[in-house]
């Protein structure tokens, strides 16, 4: 397959003209091509590759507008064929990875625009009897035209009637493989692994974890990946990134349960869970998931250098007076606009091989599968979108007070931080200290539910004045709770902590501060001067 990567622009392949490469991977090489003025994505695979027929059948079964369209197939070269050629729809958009880095979306935008439509799309794919088996950020394109997610690359896909080709370890990306796949490979007795929707939902959980934290939950293939997938429980996304709403982090955690029975049973159930979490969203859901980058420093001479990039996107490098932009992957950026009209396969004159006919209208999968039927998917989709729509209008999610946050363990390493700075030294520790919401302000301040930073007032044991404490505020009908899990030291180091908000004048040792009169469910005016208390566990008693 390596020689396909040397195809130069202008090369004629099975009646198409190559414009340039788009992507290359284990399932083939993809080119941007054109035929009679129409754009295509052309996928070249080895002639003897047995996966080609399975990929074509998986694509033929799809009728969802957000699955990359299959147009036909042929062989090339004509005289002595060495490759099978798949003609695919060409989609203009960014990969989900690049879109997330550039847009830095809020949790609300991520769920509404991408995650919920993607889950409903997977429900439709599973309803056709197909398992994708390679769900990840790189295989989802966010279409420029409408912002919708499009699922691409069915090279690893399988369906109930397909012959098993890799009995021990099925195809896929190592970082996204489920524990049950790895356990089957370890305990292999000669029987092939039977794929199902749980594998796609696990991979979606890995994808969501990365979107929320910019970290893979189990590391990459260069570490003890298999051991970590089988035995390691990653930190909750909302523990690593305080901007992640806990309800969304908990959905992600359930997707990554080791036992498939503890996860969501299918994509429609996941869609319902996402809609439920979304319908109770507070204002913190509207914050960007990551801290926006600082504004660029003025260029020499007093003029500012204006440029635009995503907070995690390609960096602008100034070296020896030359500006360099790291190019984005071509597959993610150079897809021509989507063709309007039906998504049926088209017979292209002159193709080497027979063009596959249009599939018949989809029927329910056979009784030997556990995939849900399209009718149920449509019903869940409607219910999910209606539930989510209730939360689109400004302020619509602020009509209810939340219950008190449940007890929770401290972040790993918090106790060591407390000992390091003498905050809990036996007989000497000072467990409570004063903090300010706004530095050196005497007037009351307005605070909102969600992520928060406060600063220490004066030195606290070995912690210097103005140390930043990072956490989250929770509003209930009676109190405002604050849980702080990180401290940013004066040298920039960030360390784990475990502290609760307390009223500065409270003497009963209770956590939280009374909700002032006139406060709204997500917004209140408080004295700027409050206090925090070191705890061994969130939601427990003070020392």
Share of the chain above pLDDT 90, in %: 51
Question: What's the confidence (pLDDT) of residue 61?
Answer: 93
Question: What's the confidence (pLDDT) of residue 321?
Answer: 30
247 has a pLDDT exceeding 90: yes
What integer is the mean pLDDT of 102-118?
Answer: 95
4 has a pLDDT exceeding 60: no
* Contacts of 444 by beta carbon, 8 Å cutoff, 6+ apart: 525, 526, 527, 528
H/E segment holding residue 317:
strand 316-319
320 has a pLDDT exceeding 80: no
Condensed to tens digits (0 to 9), the pLDDT of residues 65-82 reads 999 999 999 999 988 999
H/E segment holding residue 279:
helix 267-279
Indicate the length of the chain as a whole number: 543
Of 132-141, 186-195, 295-304, 324-333, which one has max mean pLDDT?
132-141
d(CA 541, CA 11): 73
101-105 contacts, C-beta under 8 A, 24 or more apart? 101/310, 101/311, 101/312, 101/313, 102/309, 102/310, 102/312, 102/313, 103/310, 104/288, 104/289, 104/290, 104/292, 104/310, 104/311, 104/312, 105/288, 105/289
Condensed to tens digits (0 to 9), the pLDDT of residues 348-392 reads 444 544 333 333 333 333 333 333 444 555 555 555 555 444 443
The confidence band for 100, taking pLDDT boundaries of 50, 70 and 90, is: very high
H/E segment holding residue 93:
strand 93-95
Structure tokens at 33: 């091509």
Query: Considering the chain, what is the average pLDDT of its residues?
Result: 79
Dump the DSSP string for 472-506. Answer: EEEE-SSEEEEEEEEEE-TTS-EEEEEEEEE-TT-
CB crowding 340-377: b at 16 or more within 10 Å, else e? eeebebeebeebbeebbeebeeeeebeeebebbebeeb
Question: What's the confidence (pLDDT) of residue 391?
Answer: 43
444-447 contacts, C-beta under 8 A, 24 or more apart? 444/525, 444/526, 444/527, 444/528, 445/525, 445/526, 445/528, 446/523, 446/524, 446/525, 447/473, 447/480, 447/523, 447/524, 447/525, 447/526
Question: What's the confidence (pLDDT) of residue 284?
Answer: 86
Cis preceding-peptide flag for 77 (omega within 30 of 0) = yes
Comparing 357 with 259, the larger pLDDT belongs to 259
Q: CATH homologous superfamily of domain 2-90? A: Phosphorylase Kinase; domain 1 (3.30.200.20)
Residue 86: beta bridge partners? 43, 73
Comparing 324 with 349, the larger pLDDT belongs to 349
**Least confident stretch, 149-153, 160-164, 241-245:** 160-164
Question: What's the confidence (pLDDT) of residue 281?
Answer: 84
What integer is the mean pLDDT of 297-311?
Answer: 42
**Least confident stretch, 152-156, 381-385, 479-483:** 381-385
Least Cα distance to 502 among 425, 410, 435 occurs for 435
The confidence band for 338, taking pLDDT boundaries of 50, 70 and 90, is: very low
Q: Where along the chain do its domains lie?
A: 2-90, 93-289+373-389, 408-538
Question: What's the confidence (pLDDT) of residue 387?
Answer: 47
Q: How far is CA 441 from CA 436, 444, 465, 528, in A?
A: 8, 8, 15, 7
What integer is the mean pLDDT of 219-223?
Answer: 88
**Least confident stretch, 140-154, 296-310, 361-375:** 361-375
Q: How far is CA 481 from CA 487, 499, 532, in A?
A: 18, 11, 11
The confidence band for 48, taking pLDDT boundaries of 50, 70 and 90, is: confident
Question: What's the confidence (pLDDT) of residue 467?
Answer: 94
CATH for 93-289+373-389 (1.10.132.50, 1.20.1250.20, 1.10.510.10, 1.10.3720.10)? 1.10.510.10
Of 164-178, 304-318, 437-451, 522-536, which one has max mean pLDDT?
522-536
Condensed to tens digits (0 to 9), the pLDDT of residues 484-519 reads 999 999 888 999 999 999 875 444 557 899 998 888
Condensed to tens digits (0 to 9), the pLDDT of residues 57-69 reads 999 999 899 999 9
Alpha helices, DSSP H only, in 214-257? 225-231, 237-240, 246-255
> What is the value of pTM for the model shown?
0.64
User: First CA to last CA across the chain, in angstroms?
Assistant: 66
Question: What's the confidence (pLDDT) of residue 404?
Answer: 84
315 has a pLDDT exceeding 60: no
Question: What's the confidence (pLDDT) of residue 149?
Answer: 97
The confidence band for 119, taking pLDDT boundaries of 50, 70 and 90, is: very high
Share of the chain above pLDDT 70, in %: 74
Pairing relationship of beta strands 322-325 and 149-151 according to DSSP bridges: unpaired
d(CA 116, CA 464): 45
Question: What's the confidence (pLDDT) of residue 299?
Answer: 55
Condensed to tens digits (0 to 9), the pLDDT of residues 424-464 reads 876 667 788 999 998 878 788 889 888 899 999 888 988 99
Q: Does domain 408-538 have CATH number 2.40.128?
A: yes
């Amino acid at each position: 397959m390596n020689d396909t990567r040397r195809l130069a622009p202008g090369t004629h392949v099975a009646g198409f003209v190559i414009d340039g490469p788009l992507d290359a991977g284990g399932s083939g090489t993809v080119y941007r091509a054109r035929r009679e003025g129409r754009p295509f994505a052309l996928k070249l695979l080895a002639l003897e590759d047995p996966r080609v027929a399975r990929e074509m059948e998986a694509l033929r079964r799809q009728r969802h507008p957000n699955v990359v369209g299959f147009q036909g197939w042929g062989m090339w070269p004509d005289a002595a064929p060495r490759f099978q050629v798949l003609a695919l729809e060409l989609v203009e958009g960014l990969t989900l990875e690049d879109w997330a880095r550039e847009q830095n979306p809020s949790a609300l935008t991520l769920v509404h625009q991408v995650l919920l439509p993607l889950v409903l799309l997977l429900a439709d794919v599973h309803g056709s009897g197909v398992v994708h088996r390679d769900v990840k950020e790189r295989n989802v394109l966010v279409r420029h035209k409408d912002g919708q997610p499009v699922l691409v690359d069915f090279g690893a896909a399988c369906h109930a009637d397909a012959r098993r080709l890799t009995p021990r370890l099925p195809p896929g990306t190592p970082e996204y493989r489920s524990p049950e796949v790895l356990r089957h490979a370890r305990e292999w007795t000669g029987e092939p692994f039977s794929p199902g929707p749980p594998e796609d939902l696990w991979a979606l959980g890995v994808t969501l974890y990365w979107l929320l934290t910019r970290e893979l939950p189990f590391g990459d293939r260069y570490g003890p990946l298999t051991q970590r997938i089988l035995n390691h429980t990653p930190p909750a996304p909302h523990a690593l990134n305080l901007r992640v709403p806990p309800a969304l982090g908990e959905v992600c955690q359930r997707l990554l349960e080791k036992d498939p029975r503890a996860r969501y049973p299918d994509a429609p159930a996941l869609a319902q869970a996402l809609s439920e979490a979304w319908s109770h969203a507070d204002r913190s859901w509207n914050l960007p998931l990551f801290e926006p980058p600082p504004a660029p420093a003025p260029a020499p001479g007093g003029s500012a250098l204006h440029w635009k990039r995503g907070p995690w996107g390609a960096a602008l490098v100034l070296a020896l007076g030359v500006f360099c932009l790291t190019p984005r992957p071509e597959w993610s950026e150079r897809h021509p606009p989507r063709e309007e009209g039906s998504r049926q396969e088209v017979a292209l004159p002159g193709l080497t091989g027979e063009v596959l006919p249009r599939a018949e209208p989809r029927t329910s999968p056979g009784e030997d599968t556990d995939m849900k039927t399209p009718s149920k998917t449509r019903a869940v989709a409607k219910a999910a979108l209606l539930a989510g729509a209730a939360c689109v209008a400004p302020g619509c999610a602020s009509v209810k007070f939340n219950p008190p946050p449940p007890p929770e363990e401290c972040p790993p390493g918090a106790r060591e931080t407390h000992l390091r700075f003498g905050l809990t030294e036996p007989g000497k520790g000072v467990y409570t200290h004063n903090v300010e919401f706004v530095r050196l302000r005497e007037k009351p301040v307005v605070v909102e539910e969600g992520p928060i930073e406060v600063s220490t007032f004066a030195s606290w044991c070995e912690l210097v004045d103005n140390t930043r404490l990072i956490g989250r505020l929770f509003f209930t009908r009676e109190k405002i709770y604050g849980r702080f899990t990180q401290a940013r030291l004066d040298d920039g180091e960030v360390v784990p902590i475990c502290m609760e908000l307390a009223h500065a004048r409270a003497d009963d040792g209770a956590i939280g501060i009374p909700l002032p009169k006139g406060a709204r469910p997500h917004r209140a005016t408080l004295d700027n001067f409050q206090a925090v208390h070191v705890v061994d566990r969130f939601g427990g008693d003070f020392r």
